């Protein structure tokens, strides 16, 4: 299919599902759109039994979209920058140590825990997968994506300090997980015998530190440029250039584009907006990036729902995926409780921080995109199905229950206090 046909079909379906959700279902937009896309995929699969040509057209449409390239090479840069631009740097600075530890040590802990248990699980069910590939799966399933849950958490009136922990961690652990995934992927391609721990650390530091420094350079280049003009059209164009040009250059330099976008977004959303932009420009900039964020997230979750049409289903792998849901939740709990335990002597944490961070740690499009980037030799079919099961459970079950979960915990605390 032509690119214009793909874009047209994607936007039309997204707008229809968004309207139906807003008008009647009234779930958080991303969750509602994904559910409707899933139901639509199931409906098409059923129709395909009576009219195979109809299903073939739908499958052709979904197969024409390279989900990995669409997210990793285009959408992710906009989504991370748009998320970071609304982060309050002063609040972020206060919560920097929990965010840094959770997004780095927590992600690494989760990667190895999930990798080890998934290796045992596959082996138990008679599927032999090298440990290094299970580690890759651990890296791709570990980043959290709270996009669908932040609005619910705000409605539940959680402390702003906890809200910044969740959003800050998710922005940074997306970048950390991508760096970790790339590093382990390089080790898998080169062979463990020829790849030393020093090489892994060196590659990780190059990607991560390079991305953070380059993001700061992009942010301050934007600051120096924007302070010399006062025209909201040109200023918004410059922020677009920062995202699109900066992300492309980061890829060329083999440093982390996601981390660069987070840092550039934080600088733009705080130092640039506060010091060099007029009130009119600030208003336009905020609304522009909020709109970009909403539209791309709607499209992203539509694509997640539609991916079901081309995923290969295997009954044994499906069962493993259902068990790995529990493994991922347990890994999330461990990756939260250990950092919190060691930081408690120096940092005051909110009540119920561990269960809220655990249940609120949703998996999203990044995990699906990374799974789809695997080669067949890396057991792509198995890991794509398992990832899809975990992501769908995460968004549907955790995403739709986190609000009640937080309110129930708050009610228990009130009962204890009285």
Give the model's pLDDT for residue 195: 59
Alpha-carbon gap, residue 374 to 188, rounded angstroms: 11
The DSSP output letter for 377 is: G
Least confident of 42-46, 125-129, 130-134, 329-333: 42-46
Tokens of 392: 């769908």
pLDDT of residue 253: 95
Its pTM stands at 0.94
pLDDT at 296: 93
Lowest mean pLDDT among 110-124, 134-148, 262-276: 134-148
Residue 152 has pLDDT above 70, yes or no: no
Q: Is the model's pLDDT at 122 over the cut of 60?
A: yes
Nearest CA to 182 among 213, 118, 136?
136
Report residue 381 as tokens. 């079919």
pLDDT of residue 154: 66
Burial (CB count within 10 angstroms: exposed 0-12, middle 13-18, buried 19+), residue 416 = exposed
pLDDT tens figures, 206-254: 999 999 999 999 999 999 999 999 999 999 999 999 999 999 999 999 9
Tens-place pLDDT, residues 55-90: 888 888 898 899 999 999 999 999 999 999 989 999
């Amino acid at each position: 299919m032509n690119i214009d046909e793909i874009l047209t079909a994607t936007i039309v379906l997204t707008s229809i599902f968004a309207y139906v959700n807003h008008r009647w279902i009234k779930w958080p937009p991303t969750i509602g759109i994904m559910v409707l896309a899933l139901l639509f995929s199931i409906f098409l699969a059923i129709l395909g039994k009576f009219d195979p040509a109809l299903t073939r057209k739908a499958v052709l449409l979904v197969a024409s979209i390279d989900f990995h390239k669409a997210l990793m090479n285009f959408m992710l840069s906009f989504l991370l920058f748009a998320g970071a631009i609304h982060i309050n740097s002063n609040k972020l600075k206060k919560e920097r140590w929990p965010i840094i530890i959770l997004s780095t040590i927590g992600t690494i802990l989760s990667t190895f825990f999930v990798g080890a248990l998934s290796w045992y699980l596959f082996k138990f069910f008679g599927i032999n997968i090298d440990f290094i590939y299970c580690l890759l799966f651990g890296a791709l399933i570990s980043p959290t994506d709270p996009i669908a849950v932040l609005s619910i958490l705000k409605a539940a009136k959680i402390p702003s300090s906890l809200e910044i922990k969740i959003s800050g961690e998710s922005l940074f652990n997306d970048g950390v997980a991508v760096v970790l995934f790339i590093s382990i992927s390089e080790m898998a391609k080169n062979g463990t015998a020829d790849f030393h721990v020093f090489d892994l650390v060196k590659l990780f530091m190059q990607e991560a530190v390079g991305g953070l420094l380059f993001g700061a350079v992009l942010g301050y280049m934007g600051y120096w440029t924007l302070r010399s003009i006062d025209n909201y059209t040109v200023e918004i164009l410059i922020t677009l250039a920062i995202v699109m040009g900066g992300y492309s250059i980061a890829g060329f330099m083999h440093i982390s584009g996601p981390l660069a976008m987070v840092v550039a977004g934080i600088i733009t959303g705080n130092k640039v907006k506060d010091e060099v932009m007029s009130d009119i420009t600030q208003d336009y900039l905020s609304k522009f990036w909020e709109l970009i964020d909403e539209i791309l997230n709607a499209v992203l979750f539509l694509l997640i729902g539609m991916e079901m049409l081309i995923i290969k289903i295997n009954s044994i792998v499906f069962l493993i995926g259902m068990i790995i849901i529990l493994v991922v939740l347990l890994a999330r709990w461990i990756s939260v409780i250990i950092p919190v335990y060691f930081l408690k002597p120096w940092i005051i944490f909110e009540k119920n921080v561990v269960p809220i961070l655990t249940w609120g740690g949703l998996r999203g499009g990044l995990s699906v995109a990374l799974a789809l980037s695997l080669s067949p030799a890396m057991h792509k079919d198995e890991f794509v199905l398992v990832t899809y099961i975990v992501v769908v459970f995460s968004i549907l079950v955790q995403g739709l229950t986190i609000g009640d979960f937080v309110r129930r915990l708050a009610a228990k605390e009130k009962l204890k206090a009285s």
